[in-house]
Amino acid sequence: MTVPGGTAGTIARWGAGLLRTRWLVRVPIWLYRLGLGALFGRLLLMLEHVGRRSGARRYVVLEVVDRRPPDTWVVVSGFGDRAQWFRNLQANPHARVYLGSRRPAPATARVLAPEEARAALAAYARRHPRAWATLRPVFESTLGARIDTGATSLPMVALELDHPVG
């Protein structure tokens, strides 16, 4: 997969580089831990999961691509099935979700079927065309593959909360 040239290529390379900068992607985790998760509204959530080998608690902040009432949140793995959080959830689907400044809620993760993922991505692209225009080349760069809303290879996970968060 070649990254496009011009502005789109520059954004893709820059965005992919930012996503690979560990200290930078961990900043939102510290903001959540400080009780400032409300700064992200409903755009982001923090996921607490268990390391598949270490058994240690791990944290990642992810963009919400869909919310399904009453209490299901859909997130996407921009690094595909190589993402550690994704692999950890496949090994152990029990997690906790931090939404805004609310207390963490227990949740169960379920990898979306390809048709569900396609529909969720297409809906996101319709609802947020400017954000999708920016994120798509970044995801294509991190995945090393073209992304089409008609048939996506981006893994998506539904986080179904075990208890209502109100």
Cβ contacts of 123 within 8 Å, gap of 6 or more: 66
What is the model's pTM? Answer: 0.81
Say if residue 130 is exposed, middle or buried (CB neighbours under 10 Å; 0-12, 13-18, 19+): exposed
pLDDT of residue 24: 60
pLDDT digits (tens, 9 = 90+) for 63-89: 899 998 889 999 998 888 989 999 999
pLDDT digits (tens, 9 = 90+) for 3-50: 455 555 555 554 444 545 554 667 888 899 999 999 988 889 999 999
Cβ contacts of 156 within 8 Å, gap of 6 or more: 65, 74, 75, 76, 77, 111, 112, 116, 117, 120, 121
Structural tokens at position 31: 């903001």
Q: Distance from CA of residue 23 to its chain's centroid?
A: 17
Determine the average pLDDT of the residues in 140-156.
Answer: 78
